[in-house]
Structure 1
Amino acid sequence: MVDILAAPQQTKADSALRTLTGISIAHWVSHFYIFVFPMLFPFLKEQLGVGYIELGFALTAFGLVSGLTQAPIGYLTDHFGARKVLLIGLAVGGCALIGLGLHLSYPALIVSAVVLGLANSVYHPADYAILSAHMDNARMGRAFSVHTFAGFLGGAVAPAIMLALVATVGGLGALIVAGAIGPLVALLLIAMGVPDTSAAERKAAGAEAPKQNIVTPAIMMLTIFFMLLGLSNAGISNFGIVALMSGYGVDLATANVALTAFLAASAIGVLAGGFLADRTHRHGQVAAAAFGINAVIMLVIAIASLPSPLLTALLTVAGFLGGVITPSRDMLVRNAAPPGAAGRAFGIVSTGFNFSGIFAPLLFGWIMDQHMPHWVFGASVVFMVLTVLLALVTERKPAQIPATA
């Protein structure tokens, strides 16, 4: 009898592990694709005879399209199935790169960036909808953390992979080979049997759509929360090296070590945060506490001249705490999403990250142009304080259960 009862549990556990593995691989592809164009900028500049402004416009097109289509793709995810949307996104994104490799021109680059941005918009709503439907609630935080870590890993290895491809098969070949990864991963997910969101959930979502207002105050606050998270991290990630070199007397090697420590600690923090998210229901307080400490750390960096070892140590702690809150951040969205609307909820709030990616380079670039490198960290403090306040406001209170006689 014990063996008969244990078999379904093992099968369910195996299915959950297979699902998490497949979705995490897809998220790896998402972040890998984000870095394909930037890694090929020297090749594209030489081949197309354009400047970095023209190449930057391709990234702007990617970001705008990805940001504006997240919410509509979330709607499609809830109504037609997350698995279908995810597979199409993988295939379309890959074909965008393959097409550019077969016919390289500046107009083709812009078209490819637009299509790649559209494909990129599927991952968050589709991935989180599948994970929310098929992961054990007791391990949901850890599932979200592994999924996020896989994305971090995709971005981390992209430079090495693209450089190796350019060295072996050239720039055009690198585009084609990188593009082939998307369709191949789509076939892998089919072979692995990654499940869809259930037909019952989609039917319920469709039946309730006219009555259901997904754009709730909590979802809108979380969208702003995501944007503030992006803004608070973007200055450090993108302008941290130049700020440390110009304002703190730090050499390039030391600045690189400090930023690498910050990013590596963030990835480790994501995994640790998954265990924490599964052991508490107070996800907003976890996020607020971690970012509150980070705000103090960044304030110290902004106003004090610190020795390089201490500066690196503080950035390492800040990176770890920034990673720790990520699973709790995702749990806040899941808790705020109405039943059957996880795809739409994650699609809407993820636009906050996309728009922070548009605004942050302008803001922090202006700060550096004004020769105020300390304000790269000072502005991050402001955004972190606002993030702390929103984390506390947006935490959804558990419903009160009426007492029974």
Structure 2
Amino acid sequence: MVDIPAATAHPPEASANRTLTAISIAHWVSHFHIFVLPMLFPFLKDRLGVSYIDLGFALTTFAVVSGLTQAPIGFLVDRVGARIILILGVMLGGAALVALGLFLNYPTLIICAGLLGLANSVYHPADYAILAAHMDESRMGRAFSIHTFAGFVGGAVAPPMMVALLASAGGQGALIVAGGIGIAIALMLIVVGIPDAGAIQSSGTKGDAPKVSVMTPAIMMLTVFFTLLALSQGGINSFGIVALMNGYGVTLSSANIALTSFLAASAAGVLAGGWLADRTVHHSRVAAVCFTVNAAIIGAIAAFALPAPAIVIAMTVAGFLGGVITPSRDMLVRQAAPPGAAGRAFGIVSTGFNFSGIVSPIMFGWFMDHALPHWVFGASACFMLATVLLAMVSERKPKPAIA
């Protein structure tokens, strides 16, 4: 295996800032790549002569592969090092899109979706392992929040970027450019010289990784916590607009404003949550308080016929509080991870997102098909309450950071 050079000596703060910037850019490209195929669905449908169900199967392939490989990639991160796994993952995602642009047909689309899912499974285990090992303890929460915020930005800029590329370079050209961005970012990570992390790096040996079990009660509860967290927000993200229109008499414009406010406030809340996470060791309490308030807000939307302005305000506050808990969520995982096992820990708990991605569309779609739009918000509030209960039992006593 090719050894990628480690970072050269730099002042600690400069080195940490450089690492955070590079890892955040990698996270940006991961979210950007998630949206590339959906943004090109109209082009792909016409060019390939397939149905939307066929195109949906590509997204299902992405989700299933990402879910099945998340935990194994975490084990690989701890065994061979996070740096090489991250670089190969970014490179793989970019190469898959370039290949699809060059050889555009339906079988290649499915293969590309699977490779993108495999590439996507790399980011959380590798990114968080590197950040957990190399960020200063006093600003770990802010580092996690900036990393998450970069991912939000990647998803936000994907639609306008792909529309512009489609108009200027055509569909195949848009795929090649989008893939080329990933390859360029992978090369940037090599040039920057991001540091390594993992069991080998922690033990200082080149032998086998220490036999450390990560299947602890805390990690198992956090996996359920991540699942409930994703379920509490997935229904609102996917079905919030149609639920507001069908069950509350809200116009399309007002419903869009409500959801946009929810998502924008979430991004702002992530940054605020990083500042808060660095000023407390009681991360479970932060999550519990925010989601208790959120459950009350979303529950009120479910139970009462609120006017459109009140819904927009309520959604904005809920989105902000949902964002605030994200860095604390990540700190809980870091505290629960055994020494040298951050990659495995984040890989395992992140499968909760993938499980939610499979269950959430079916569940909330069932509510809409059975004329139960209020339950899009009602079920979300119930998942928030369940998240509160788990948050109170998931936090372990903080332990010193591994040097």
Question: Would the TM-score normalized by the shorter structure come out above 0.5?
Answer: yes
Q: What corresponds to 2:269 in structure 1?
A: 269
Distance 1:206 1:311, change over 3 A: farther
Q: What corresponds to 1:217 in structure 2?
A: 217
Runs of 4 or more above 4 Å deviation? 202-208
Provide structure 1 residue ranges, at least 5 long, that are not aligned to the other structure: 1-8, 400-405
Q: What corresponds to 2:387 in structure 1?
A: 387
Q: What corresponds to 1:27 in structure 2?
A: 27
Q: What corresponds to 1:130 in structure 2?
A: 130
Q: What corresponds to 2:5 in structure 1?
A: none
Q: What corresponds to 1:171 in structure 2?
A: 171
Q: What corresponds to 1:186 in structure 2?
A: 186
Distance of 2:359 and 2:381 partners within structure 1: 17
Q: Please show how residues 243-392 of structure 1 align to structure 2 within 5 Å.
A: 243-392=243-392
1:13 equivalent in alignment to 2:16: no
Q: What corresponds to 2:6 in structure 1?
A: none
Distance of 2:108 and 2:162 partners within structure 1: 20
Q: Is the 8 A contact 1:205 1:339 kept in 2?
A: no
Deviation of the 1:194 alpha carbon: 1.4
Q: What corresponds to 1:97 in structure 2?
A: 97
Deviation of the 1:209 alpha carbon: 3.6
Distance of 1:335 and 1:218 partners within structure 2: 10
Please tell me the residue identity of whatever aligns with 1:294: N
Distance 1:202 1:238, change over 3 A: farther
Distance of 1:102 and 1:385 partners within structure 2: 48
Q: Is the 8 A contact 1:79 1:205 kept in 2?
A: no
Distance of 1:261 and 1:119 partners within structure 2: 30
Deviation of the 1:308 alpha carbon: 1.0
Question: Secondary structure of 2:50's partner?
Answer: coil
Mean alpha-carbon deviation: is it higher for 40-49 or for 145-154? 40-49
Deviation of the 1:190 alpha carbon: 1.6
Task: List per-residue Cα deviations over 1:202-234 (Å, max 9, x = no partner).
Answer: 557965643x21111110110111011111001
Deviation of the 1:50 alpha carbon: 1.0
Deviation of the 1:87 alpha carbon: 0.4
Q: Is the 8 A contact 2:335 2:398 kept in 1?
A: no
Deviation of the 1:397 alpha carbon: 2.9
Distance of 1:398 and 1:216 partners within structure 2: 15
Task: List per-residue Cα deviations over 1:323-355 (Å, max 9, x = no partner).
Answer: 000000000000000000000000000000011
Q: Report how many residues are paired.
A: 391
Deviation of the 1:61 alpha carbon: 0.6
Deviation of the 1:197 alpha carbon: 1.7
Q: What corresponds to 1:59 in structure 2?
A: 59
What TM-score do you get using the length of structure 2 for normalisation? 0.95
Question: Secondary structure of 2:11's partner?
Answer: helix
Distance of 2:300 and 2:208 partners within structure 1: 53
Q: Is the 8 A contact 1:273 1:324 kept in 2?
A: yes
Deviation of the 1:398 alpha carbon: 4.7
Please tell me the residue identity of whatever aligns with 2:297: I
Distance of 2:94 and 2:317 partners within structure 1: 37
Distance of 1:129 and 1:18 partners within structure 2: 16
Distance of 1:171 and 1:111 partners within structure 2: 18
Mean alpha-carbon deviation: is it higher for 189-198 or for 141-150? 189-198
Q: Please show how residues 26-175 of structure 1 align to structure 2 within 5 Å.
A: 26-175=26-175
Q: What corresponds to 1:201 in structure 2?
A: 202
Q: Is the 8 A contact 2:19 2:194 kept in 1?
A: yes
Distance of 1:138 and 1:398 partners within structure 2: 13
Mean alpha-carbon deviation: is it higher for 380-389 or for 183-192? 183-192
Question: Secondary structure of 1:340's partner?
Answer: coil
Deviation of the 1:79 alpha carbon: 1.2
Deviation of the 1:200 alpha carbon: 3.7
Please tell me the residue identity of whatever aligns with 1:134: H
Q: Is the 8 A contact 1:231 1:380 kept in 2?
A: yes
Distance of 2:332 and 2:207 partners within structure 1: 23
Deviation of the 1:295 alpha carbon: 0.2
Task: List per-residue Cα deviations over 1:155-198 (Å, max 9, x = no partner).
Answer: 01100000000000001100000000111001111222211127
Distance 1:200 1:104, change over 3 A: closer
What TM-score do you get using the length of structure 1 for normalisation? 0.94
Give identity over the alignment, percent.
67
Q: What corresponds to 2:3 in structure 1?
A: none
Task: List per-residue Cα deviations over 1:40-99 (Å, max 9, x = no partner).
Answer: 110111111111111111101100100110111111111111110000001111011011
Aligned-pair RMSD on alpha carbons? Answer: 1.6
Please tell me the residue identity of whatever aligns with 1:263: L
Q: Is the 8 A contact 1:63 1:117 kept in 2?
A: yes
Question: Secondary structure of 1:196's partner?
Answer: coil
Please tell me the residue identity of whatever aligns with 1:241: I
Distance of 2:323 and 2:205 partners within structure 1: 34
Task: List per-residue Cα deviations over 1:227-271 (Å, max 9, x = no partner).
Answer: 111110011111000000000101111100010000000000000
Q: Is the 8 A contact 1:27 1:123 kept in 2?
A: yes
Question: Secondary structure of 1:273's partner?
Answer: helix
Distance 1:130 1:48, change over 3 A: same
Please tell me the residue identity of whatever aligns with 1:378: G
